[in-house]
């Protein structure tokens, strides 16, 4: 007989790993004073969810690493290190099914959002335009994914099939 109370809670393993890696990433890249930003992102992952936490991590990166923050502009190696630190957040929603393709797509989305941050930060000196660009890119990407899912699941009729559609 297995005592279920004696087994560790696996639901907290990835958020704890996310807190450690993100705090280390922020602290190593921009100094120890920025480590709480990583802890805050991990808290968002637990409370709201990992998707929102990835967006918040990129917004925190804008503030911490560049565009008027305490750090300097992000070079490609630093960007790769930061995106790698997001791996536990990316793994949270797919931990139960563990498909490599899901993880690869999630990581590419995170890298894409980081690229948006870098491009927007290089084109302006203000934080607000960079944050607005990041939010707009995330919103457009989310809408595009939503539309793709509707079409892939066959939940959207063609214009030809609808009454009044062109033939």
pLDDT, tens digit only, all 167 positions of the chain: 444 454 445 567 777 888 888 888 888 888 888 888 888 988 888 888 888 888 888 888 877 776 444 445 566 677 777 877 887 877 777 666 656 676 677 777 777 887 887 788 777 777 778 778 888 988 888 888 888 888 878 888 766 655 655 55
Q: What are phi and psi of 92, to 5 degrees?
A: -55, -50
Instruction: For residues 65 and 74, give the distance between their C-alpha atoms in angstroms, rounded to a whole number.
Output: 6
* Alpha helices, DSSP H, located in the chain: 13-30, 35-47, 50-65, 76-85, 87-91, 100-123, 127-152
Instruction: For residues 12 and 106, give the distance between their C-alpha atoms in angstroms, rounded to a whole number.
Output: 20
Domain range annotation of the chain: 10-152
């Amino acid at each position: 007989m297995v005592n279920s109370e004696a087994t560790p809670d696996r639901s907290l393993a990835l958020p704890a790993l996310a807190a450690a890696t993100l705090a280390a990433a922020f602290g190593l890249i921009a100094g120890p004073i920025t480590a709480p930003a990583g802890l805050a992102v991990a808290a968002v992952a637990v409370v709201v969810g990992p998707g929102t936490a990835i967006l918040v991590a990129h917004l925190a990166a804008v503030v911490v690493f560049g565009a008027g923050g305490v750090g300097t502009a992000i070079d490609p190696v630093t960007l790769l290190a930061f995106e790698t630190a997001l791996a536990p957040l990316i793994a949270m929603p797919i931990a139960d099914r563990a498909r490599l393709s899901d993880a690869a797509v999630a990581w590419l989305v995170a890298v894409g959002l980081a690229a948006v941050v870098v491009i927007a930060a290089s084109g302006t000196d203000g934080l607000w335009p960079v944050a607005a660009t990041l939010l707009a890119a995330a919103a457009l990407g989310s809408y595009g994914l939503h539309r793709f899912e509707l079409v892939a699941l066959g939940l959207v009729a063609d214009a030809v099939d609808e009454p009044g559609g062109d033939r």
